[in-house]
A = this chain, B = another copy of it.
């Protein structure tokens, strides 16, 4: 098939992973900008959209804001995953210059292949693990985690599995809970996930994430096949 988007100035790229698309608008229309109610208005915006994946895209966008002169001005989590149990994503970068936001979108599209490495799924649900030694502004905006410190994300679906993963994580190492989300209690858009965000010493955070992954895989396998990842584990 021909990619009819390749001739568009707005189009940066797309990946099959998560049905992810990267776009830019060099000079957003002012009426639209008002209607979007961004907390900070920029002339140029970079846009990441996906049907499947919120954590992977936020983590990838976090690398993009580290690497570029841009700011995250919007993160929204549709209830999606194409019939699965989780979220898709809409992330908007703002910048003074279109080349900056374009670069942020490019970095995100590249990084998202890595950040899908610890997403494991079978027909009954999924697990997601994320880890970084140093959180930046995308993670801070999405989860309220402290900038510059280690950060871990633990997700399990159905939510019952995520809840037990969360308990295993905090028991396995000396970490601090930054946030917790569940289907009806905030932190999700009614997805069937329990989600834990942690911070702390980088070794401890990594250990907690690994412990959650181990027990999560065992629980999810009781409902179907051994959960597998479409990419290579990075944690």
18 contacts between A and B (CB under 8 A): A4-B218, A4-B222, A7-B218, A8-B219, A10-B219, A19-B158, A21-B160, A32-B177, A36-B185, A47-B160, A49-B163, A76-B182, A77-B183, A79-B190, A82-B84, A83-B83, A90-B159, A90-B182
Complex interface bits, A140-184 against B, C-beta within 8 A gives 1, otherwise 0: 000000000000000000111101101100110000110110111
Please determine whether B88 and A158 come into contact, CB atoms closer than 8 angstroms: yes
Number of interface residues of A (CB under 8 A): 79
Q: In the assembled complex, which residues on chain B have CB atoms less than 8 Å from the CB atom of A170?
A: 29, 31-32
Stretch of A60-68, A96-104, A191-199 on the interface side: A191-199
Please determine whether B76 and A85 come into contact, CB atoms closer than 8 angstroms: no
**Total copies of this chain within the assembly:** 3
A84 to B194, CA, bound (A): 20
Q: In the assembled complex, which residues on chain B have CB atoms less than 8 Å from the CB atom of A28?
A: 167
Complex interface bits, A216-235 against B, C-beta within 8 A gives 1, otherwise 0: 01110111111000000000
Of chain B, the residue at the smallest CB distance from A21 is B160
Which of B76, B163, B215 touches A183 (beta carbons < 8 Å)? B76
A221 to B19, CA, bound (A): 11
Please determine whether B49 and A3 come into contact, CB atoms closer than 8 angstroms: no
Q: Does A213 contact B (CB under 8 A)?
A: no
Do A164 and B10 contact each other (CB < 8 Å), given the known contacts A19-B223, A179-B35? yes
